[in-house]
Amino acid sequence: MGLLEQTLSQIQPLDLALATPAQARLDQLTKPRGSLGRLEDLAARYVLITGKARPRVDSKVLFVFCADHGVSAAGVSAYPREVTAQMVLNFLRGGAAITVLARQLDITVKVVDLGVDADFDPQSPGLIQSKIARGTANLAEGPAMSRAAALRAVEVGIALAEEVVRHGAQLLGVGEMGIGNSTAAAALLSAFSGIPPEELTGSGTGIDETTRHRKAEIICRALACNHPDPTDPLGVLAQLGGYEIAGIVGVCLAGAARRVPVVIDGFIATAGAWVACALRPEVKDYLIFAHLSAEQGHRRVLAALQVQPLLDLGMRLGEGSGAALGMSLVESAVRLFNEMATFAEAGVTNQD
């Protein structure tokens, strides 16, 4: 049995046995019932995901998977392909938005090269080099990846997530970097959801309306030439995805198998999350969607998944920036659950 099959076999539905005691504790904390709103729901959900009556969030790890895309040659981005590699170096130097937020929020960032069209110093500190290829092929002309390459990328994501969980990670997050990857994400999400490409294709890195329409047409060509079959999620991922999106799929699956919540970033990370849910529907219960991206189509996709994001800040950067903020909210919810006094402990009169 391969790593993917083994991981899928370990994913189980949530055990709801802890729901009642978790809610009972929330109701006994020194506050009016329900007054912390969705933070209370988030704390109770964290209890159910982890299966622990008093879980903690002492270690947070966010993966930024990086890869290039053959479709970038079609002019679907406002930035050239070499920006992917340049941003990897920016991550490593700590100058990107995600690294600033991670420093503030005490999140460990793991930068992973799964398919960047560049050679990095083998001794680059902080870079996990798991390059499968120097980018994908053009998905508008045929499959972006071979099935074997897509599987390998998913399994890299699984292995990396399992490693950090073994070393104590209690909350995972996923982000990405790859010029052209909003095109791949829109193609994947259109294939799985049935939503037309024109409705899902956004401005990405800031393209104009004429380029956006061309981008939507390219996605239509990709769907027409690849004939994706949503009942074969790995096949669809290979045809339309990217190596970094496949890495996100792997983290989602590993988190669900190990009962560690995974916080999903924006539009592109949601594409990886959808693939993971298509492989095993139970995965969705282990995922926390951080924010509503300003990228066109994200609202439609989240509605189709029947999930509600934590934040709506008009962000569309990627990198895991929204996921980092979402992880901080999860930690706040769990700290409130664990550290607030109950009415009895505080000697405060309850409403009852």
Q: Which of helix, strand or coil describes residue 116?
A: coil
Asked about 282 being catalytic, the answer comes back as no
The two structure tokens encoding residue 106:
């005490």
- Residues pairing with 177 in the sheet: 66
The two structure tokens encoding residue 178:
């790859």
Chain-centroid distance of CA 157 in Å reads 11
240 Cβ partners below 8 Å, 6+ apart? 139, 144, 184, 187, 188, 191, 222, 223, 226, 228
- Residues pairing with 288 in the sheet: 263
Torsion over CA of 285, 291, 292 and 296, rounded to 10 degrees? -100
Burial zone of 215 (CB within 10 Å; 0-12 exposed, 13-18 middle, 19+ buried)? buried
Alpha-carbon span 267 to 344, nearest angstrom: 45
Q: Are 189 and 216 in contact (CB under 8 A)?
A: no
Alpha-carbon span 71 to 74, nearest angstrom: 6
What is the length of the chain? 352
Q: Are 230 and 278 in contact (CB under 8 A)?
A: yes
Catalytic position from the list 176, 244, 295, 319: 319
The two structure tokens encoding residue 328:
């901080």
- Residues pairing with 62 in the sheet: 109, 173
The two structure tokens encoding residue 183:
């095109």
Residue positions annotated with a catalytic role: 319
